[in-house]
Chains A and B, each alone.
Chain A
Amino acid sequence: EDQVTQSPEALRLQEGESSSLNCSYTVSGLRGLFWYRQDPGKGPEFLFTLYSAGEEKEKERLKATLTKKESFLHITAPKPEDSATYLCAVQGVLTGGGNKLTFGTGTQLKVEL
C-alpha cells in the first residue's frame, strides 16, 4: 500500500525566511510524485510533477526536489501570499486504479510580515 507522510504539519515563517517542507513516501514503483497548493475553501492547485530521483523543478519562489524516499519543497524568501496548505501525493506503477493518487495530510504554511 502506498503511503505519504508530510512534515511538519504546520510551519510559521517570517517574510523572507527560507525553509523546506518534507514529503516521505513508500510506493510500489514510483510513477510520479505531485505537489499541490490548497488555499482555504478552494480545491488543490497543481504545482509540480517529479518522475525520478534527482529531478528538480522550480516555479517562482518554489523548488521541488526528489530522492528515492522523499521529496522536498523548498521555499526561498517567502511572501505572505505563499501562505497555504501544501499537499504531496504519489502515483505508483503497481497501484492500479488508472491515475489513482495517494495524498499526504499536508503542511499548513503561514508567512507573516
Chain B
Amino acid sequence: NAGVTQTPKFQVLKTGQSMTLQCAQDMNHEYMSWYRQDPGMGLRLIHYSVGAGITDQGEVPNGYNVSRSTTEDFPLRLLSAAPSQTSVYFCASSYIGARGYTFGSGTRLTVV
C-alpha cells in the first residue's frame, strides 16, 4: 500500500514549456485533488475530482488542466509554464465525506 505517489519530486521548466505532474493512489479513494503551496498563502485548491470522468475547478485553476480516466490516476497539466507557477504542488486523496486527506510528498516546480 503505497498511498499517494507523486512524480517527479523536482522539476525546472523554462517559461512557455508544458509538462504533466503525475499522481497515483492505491486506496480506491473517490476524491482526488491538486493543491499548490506558496509561502504565506497556505494550500490553495487548483482542481479536484469526485470520481473517474468527473473534474471541477478549485480556487486557482488558470493555467492548469486535469483529467481523470481511472480511479487511481489524476495528472495535472501545465499548459504553458509561467514564473508565477513556481510552487510546491501536492496531490491529495480521500473517501467522499468529512474524511482526512492523504497527501503525496509533493513536486517542487521552478519556472525560469
Tell me the interface secondary structure of chain B in the complex. strand
Interface-facing stretch out of A12-20, A38-46, A68-76: A38-46
* Contact status of A97 and B48, CB under 8 A, knowing A49-B99, A103-B42, A106-B42: yes
Q: How far is it, in angstroms, between the C-alpha of A52 and the C-alpha of B101 when the chains are bound? A: 19
Q: How many residue-residue contacts, CB under 8 A, span A and B?
A: 69
How many interface residues does A have (CB within 8 Å)? 25
How many interface residues does B have (CB within 8 Å)? 28
Chain A residues, CB < 8 A from B99: 32, 49, 99
Q: Is B41 an interface residue (CB 8 A)?
A: yes
Chain A residues, CB < 8 A from B48: 97-100
Chain B residues, CB < 8 A from A89: 43
Q: Is A34 an interface residue (CB 8 A)?
A: yes
In contact, B103 and A45 (Cβ under 8 angstroms):
yes
Q: Which residues of B contact A (CB under 8 A)?
A: 4, 31, 33, 35, 40-45, 48, 50, 56, 58, 90, 92, 94, 96-106
In contact, A99 and B58 (Cβ under 8 angstroms):
no
Task: Pick from B41, B45, B101: contact of A46, CB below 8 A.
Answer: B101
In contact, A104 and B56 (Cβ under 8 angstroms):
no
Given contacts A42-B105, A43-B90, A51-B98, 20 further A-B pairs with CB under 8 A are A32-B98, A34-B100, A43-B106, A44-B90, A46-B100, A87-B42, A89-B43, A98-B31, A98-B50, A98-B96, A99-B31, A99-B33, A99-B48, A99-B96, A99-B101, A100-B33, A100-B45, A100-B58, A103-B35, A105-B42
Chain B residues, CB < 8 A from A46: 100-102
Chain B residues, CB < 8 A from A79: none
